[in-house]
Copies of this chain bind each other. A is one copy, B any other.
């Protein structure tokens, strides 16, 4: 009972935090001259680089629309206009035609006025493009935009399931085919986005893909069920070396709540149990720093030192994912142990990441919990993980 009261007490803090975060991005990130959003925003709100990262452009459009569409106090013209301007910028500039990806490949990074700077040979820019277009079209009713999202989704599925050569990565004899967890996770996230609240035809069309994604994610349970590994073979076997032993606890926790969401939609209690026992409890158990608190960024399942220089840093987003995951799991099961984990993450997160002075959150702490990089927005940190986590606390 106390726990439920505690949850209510958190609510007020989280409501205020969400307002502060939305204010921050409304105030500092809009580019009235070229459209789209500034992503690189310093501690005090000053833009320190005007490059525009497509992942973050797409995510910001999505988040604005989601808030506008579902939360009364964010149903403001200012937010709608910003989302539309972001969507227009993406549609005008993100797709880079002429490469081997046909007309569907998106840039990773654009100049302020929309010229492509870098293309990644992965599917993630396209994923966030689709996420943005689907959500924006729900707000505006733009059927062309909806169609574009669906068409790009088809291309994405082709790249993932049929032939990845359009992404431009050369096939090399020593580069073992890999099921990287990010790929089925992102596809599952898109399936959820595209089918949510839609009719049985759309839901039916993507059912098989959703199941395939779940099955691909479940392949990452390794070592006789004692560990989640980030990369496995397409047959679900362990890969050799550092790549095969890599763990990313925040990512596993995110996959966990994707699976919980899917299990709820399908009323699949076996999947729910697997999600909790394997994708929530294991990464938390291995990933939580017993000495300093917080979740490590990367680990090696055999306790070798990871080769990623930032392995022991505490990043904001794994903590956001952990909060979502444990609260969702608690709501579905009412198991108090899961609520206790939630509060443990909550305590660390809210005492370390938010910047009480300048608003928004710091993103990157040392192992000991000191702010190591003090910007609010950067190439991989935008208006997404923090507001999504706060929003899902309040409205899911």
Contacts and interface: CB of A to CB of B under 8 A. Distances in A.
Interface of A: 40, 42-43, 48-51, 96, 99, 107, 109-111, 114-119, 170, 172-175, 240-242, 300, 304-307, 309-313, 364, 366-367, 372-375, 378-379
Nearest to A310: B309
Given A241-B49, A241-B51, A173 B304 contact: no
Contact of A242 (B40, B366, B374): B40
Taking the full assembly, how many copies of this chain does it contain?
A: 2
A172 B366 contact: no
Given A241-B50, A241-B51, A367-B366, A116 B172 contact: yes
A305 B115 contact: no
Nearest to A381: B307
A118 B175 contact: yes
A40 to B, nearest CB: 7
Contact of A116 (B111, B173, B366): B173
A51 B372 CA distance: 31
A85 B104 CA distance: 46
A305 B42 contact: yes
A243 to B, nearest CB: 8
11 contacts: A40-B241, A40-B242, A43-B305, A48-B242, A51-B242, A99-B170, A116-B173, A118-B172, A118-B175, A307-B379, A366-B366
A373 B309 contact: yes
B175 A116 contact: yes
Given A42-B304, A115-B173, 11 more contacts: A40-B241, A40-B307, A49-B241, A96-B172, A109-B174, A116-B175, A119-B170, A306-B373, A310-B310, A312-B372, A366-B367
Contacts of A174: 109-111, 114-117
A374 B42 CA distance: 32
A172 B307 contact: no
Given A49-B242, A241-B49, A375 B305 contact: yes
B309 A309 contact: yes
B240 A50 contact: yes
B372 A172 contact: no
Contacts of A43: 305
Nearest to A46: B304
Contacts of A364: 309
Contacts of A173: 115-116
B305 A374 contact: yes
A294 to B, nearest CB: 15
Given A241-B50, A313-B309, A172 B119 contact: yes
Nearest to A110: B174
A114 B172 CA distance: 11
A240 B117 CA distance: 13
Contacts of A313: 309
Nearest to A242: B49
A109 B307 CA distance: 15
Contacts of A116: 172-175
Contacts of A40: 241-242, 307
Contacts of A114: 174
Contact of A378 (B111, B170, B307, B367): B307
A125 to B, nearest CB: 13
A305 B175 CA distance: 35
